[in-house]
Amino acid sequence: MMQKILVSKDMTCSVVRNVIDLEGLRQRAQHPQAGAVIIFYGDVRNHSQQQEVSFLEYEAHENMALKQISMVIDEARQKWVLHSVEVIHRLGKLAVKDCSIAIAVATSHRGDAYAASRYIIDTIKHSVPIWKKEHFVDGVSAWSKGCEAYSVVEETAEPPSAVNNEVP
């Protein structure tokens, strides 16, 4: 099952309950004006809170999640010239190493592609109503307390070498 929103031409978001097709995403991200395409995907890792993870469950208010993801894409379009964007978030039970989210951003230049991709993932993690329940190998489970990423407002688009090039 998949719910999808067409934000605008070449801008889409969807929530799915099946495996995310990363090769299909890569092919759809290609755009004749794009010199840079960033594909970001997040996988389920085998640990959290110093415990071994067995699997995760993602739940969402699907219509609200899609609406908010589409708003995030619109915000990114106002900040950068984007040729195409696709965001796919998976819901349901996911095993370790399964892909939970995939984002493709196509722009003319890599700086904008990296910045827009980072903005999109960080904003989604902070603001979209998608909930994660972690199931640990010891049989205990807990709802995640939220995003551990730092604020996108404080983020700089400059590379670390440009930020930390102080002379000793």
Say how far apart CA 128 and CA 18 lie, in whole Å.
20
* Domain residue limits, the chain: 2-142
pLDDT at residue 100, as a whole number: 98
pLDDT at residue 1, as a whole number: 62
Say how far apart CA 120 and CA 75 lie, in whole Å.
9
**What is the CATH T-level fold of the domain 2-142, as seen in this structure?**
Aldehyde Oxidoreductase; domain 3 (3.90.1170)
Say how far apart CA 31 and CA 27 lie, in whole Å.
9
Please tell me whether the overall predicted TM-score, pTM, comes out greater than 0.75 for this model.
yes
Segment holding 95, helix H or strand E: strand 92-95
Could you report the average pLDDT of every consecutive run of 10 residues in the chain (168 residues)? Answer: 75 96 96 97 95 97 95 97 98 98 98 98 96 96 71 40 37
pLDDT at residue 10, as a whole number: 87
CA distances, 1 to each of 53, 58, 119 (Å): 26, 14, 27
- Residue 54 phi, psi dihedral angles, 5° rounding: -90, -50
Token pair listed for 70: 């589409």
